[in-house]
Amino acid sequence: MYYIVTGAAGFIGSNLVKALNERGETNIIAVDNLKKADKFRNLVDCDIADYLDKEEFLDKLESGFFDGLLAGVLHEGACSDTMEADGRYMMQNNYQYSLELLNYCQSEEVPLLYASSASVYGAGPQFRESRENESPLNVYAYSKFLFDQIVRRRWNKRTAQIVGFRYFNVYGAREQHKGRMASVAFHFFNQYRAEGYVKLFEGCDGYANGGQLRDFVSVEDVVKVNMHFLENPGKSGIFNLGTGKAQSFNDVAVTTINTLRLAKGEAALTLEEMHSHELIRYIPFPDALKGKYQSYTQADMAALRATGYVEPFLTVEQGVARYVSQLLQTAG
């Protein structure tokens, strides 16, 4: 039996492939689109049984090639660019692709774990997995929102496990290929090493400079939750996957800078000291993001906790420090 991981060369997908390897699973079919060829690096230290381009995979799926061969599908493949303006492309790549997998997995009684997104909540302020709290601000968020609605419509007729994860702001290893869509921790790390300071947005929506709040979650925790559901095939649902605690962009910047300073034998500084030394600088809030930006997110974790997942989540101070140390080690 095989596991399918879509988006396998991407950020979360490659971390899931590695986690399956650590569980002793090597019968993994990695599915992706390597138009951005550098993503292959995310799979170099992973063991897989085969690699398939997304289109070839869908053809084989339709032909029945995988019938009776699959233990589960971990579906991370999607366009994650929230600024993508081509709605037709977004709906085909995110919504239709997911729908084809859902149809197949239900017909073959195969577990499906898939990536949803906290972007479905729009401007909030409530972040609980309930229809009245959902109001997407862009077509990326709508593509995720619409698929969640289809899952809900079919809920009472499901034949196998279905789990959707509403990822909040994920950061961590194997995201270097994402360019401007990489986490702020990744960008702060590179900015500080190259320029000696980091850049944050000025305040908006009533928040102070750098004071916008997001639920930043380590990819390490994201992987643990995915594995929890693989180990509990009787549990299904659409779940928030954050930490349950919003922290500011300033917190991420301070942790990133202090981790880099400590690595050089320099003393840690407070946010105020970083301001005075101009290690943190604020730039105008982009016009293109106005009305499309989540200034506050904080996952309601009650539903996930009710499934029996009891592990603590890494805070920004813990997770970002660990990630920056990993980046430093990789950079030499």
pLDDT at 332 over 80: no
Q: What is the structure's pLDDT at 76?
A: 97
Which run of H or E residues covers position 52?
A: strand 50-53
Cα–Cα dist 161/97, whole Å: 18
Mean pLDDT of 93-108: 96
The 3-state DSSP class for residue 26 equals coil
Mean pLDDT of 222-249: 98
Known catalytic residue at 178? yes
CB 134 within 8 A of CB 142: no
pLDDT at 20 over 80: yes
Q: Which residue has the tokens 């929506």?
A: 205
pLDDT one-digit tens code per residue, 34-69 = 988 999 999 999 999 999 999 999 999 999 999 999
Known catalytic residue at 140? yes
pLDDT one-digit tens code per residue, 156-187 = 999 999 999 999 999 999 999 999 899 999 99
Mean pLDDT of 80-95: 83
Q: What is the structure's pLDDT at 78?
A: 86
pLDDT at 222 over 80: yes
Cα–Cα dist 126/133, whole Å: 6
- Compute the mean pLDDT over every residue in the chain, rounded to the nearest whole number: 95
Q: What is the structure's pLDDT at 291?
A: 72
CB 19 within 8 A of CB 230: no
Q: 30 - beta bridge partners?
A: 5, 51
Q: What is the structure's pLDDT at 302?
A: 98
- The sign of the CA dihedral 315, 117, 82, 14 is positive
Q: What is the structure's pLDDT at 170?
A: 98
Concatenated DSSP letters of 264-283:
TTPPP--HHHHHHTTSEEEE
Q: Which residues contact 287 (CB under 8 A, 6 or more apart)?
A: none
Q: Which pTM does this prediction carry?
A: 0.95
pLDDT band at 204; cut points 50, 70, 90: confident
Cα–Cα dist 241/222, whole Å: 7
The amino acid at 165 = F
pLDDT one-digit tens code per residue, 122-150 = 988 999 999 999 999 899 999 999 999 99
| Catalytic residue, candidates 3, 97, 140, 192 | 140
| Catalytic residue, candidates 18, 60, 178, 235 | 178
pLDDT band at 84; cut points 50, 70, 90: confident
The amino acid at 150 = I
